[in-house]
Amino acid sequence: MRIWKKLTIPSKITFIFWTICALYMIISGESGTGILEGICIWMLGYIFLVGIVQFLSTRKTNSAPAENYEIPESFSNEITEPTEYYQNYDLMDGHRFEHFCADILKKNGFENVEVTRGSGDHGIDILAEKDGVSYAIQCKCYSSNVGNSAVQQAHTGKSLYRKDIAVVLTNRYFTLQAREEAGELGVKLWDRDKLNEMINNG
């Protein structure tokens, strides 16, 4: 009965027809040879039936969907290991990079670390303090070196927030013009090397 349930409707019809033909040969057979042929035909039909069931069972097993496994996200909402920072910060968007930098600053002894609002921040992304000195920090997650406009924005933002030191923090490096401008305005430039140093210290 288990084999019969696994058959498709066309297979069931074929087997029934095959059985009827075999029974007809057995009943109408005038000699032992006719009866033997009918039995052989029915046996061949049964073997064929079993073969179909095994084929369908094997096919179903091979095509069964794989189990669902939990795949961890490439990036968690909150990264805690410095090695993860080192590998992933180039792929962050600006907003996430700001929060990442704020977390790194905390790990390096900065206090009262605050990420400013996205709009109307006057070019300053993070406010922080350390050893009695206040910082206005602009974060730049770029795919190329940072120019002097970021230096000017940080300098202006420092005055608006009334902080002691302006900083531009980036995952890249600074152009020659940016370095010259920073020297004239007293803006600190923390490039990729400085960022990695803080990551390792954290």
* Alpha-carbon gap, residue 8 to 60, rounded angstroms: 14
Q: Which residue has the higher pLDDT, 138 or 48?
A: 138
Residue 142 resides in a domain: yes
- Judge if 55 and 92 occupy the same domain: no
- Judge if 184 and 132 occupy the same domain: yes
- Judge if 132 and 103 occupy the same domain: yes
Model confidence over 161-184: pLDDT tens digits?
999 999 999 999 999 999 999 999
Residue 144 resides in a domain: yes
The residue among 167, 79, 80 whose CA lies nearest residue 130 is 167
How many domains are there within the chain? 2
Q: Which residue has the higher pLDDT, 62 or 11?
A: 11
- Judge if 139 and 97 occupy the same domain: yes
Q: Which residue has the higher pLDDT, 52 or 91?
A: 91
Q: Which residue has the higher pLDDT, 34 or 163?
A: 163
pLDDT score of 44: 65
SS (H, E, C) the chain: CHHHHHCCHHHHHHHHHHHHHHHHHHHHCCCHHHHHHHHHHHHHHHHHHHHHHHHHHHHHHHCCCCCCCCCCCCCCCCCCCHHHHHHHHHHCCHHHHHHHHHHHHHHCCCEEEEECCCCCCCCCCEEEEECCEEEEEEEECCCCCECHHHHHHHHHHHHHHCCCEEEEEECCCECHHHHHHHHHHCCEEECHHHHHHHHHHC
**Rounded mean pLDDT of 103-117?**
94
Residues 6+ apart with CB under 8 A from 80: none
Model confidence over 83-101: pLDDT tens digits?
555 558 888 888 899 999 9
Confidence of residue 123 (pLDDT cuts 50, 70, 90): confident
- Judge if 46 and 103 occupy the same domain: no
Confidence of residue 68 (pLDDT cuts 50, 70, 90): very low
* Mean pLDDT, the chain, whole residue set: 77
Residue 7 resides in a domain: yes
Task: Find the domain containing 156 and state its range.
Answer: 82-201
- Judge if 58 and 86 occupy the same domain: no
- Judge if 114 and 159 occupy the same domain: yes
Which tokens in the block code for residue 182? 């920073």
- Judge if 129 and 39 occupy the same domain: no
Confidence of residue 202 (pLDDT cuts 50, 70, 90): confident
* Alpha-carbon gap, residue 2 to 50, rounded angstroms: 11
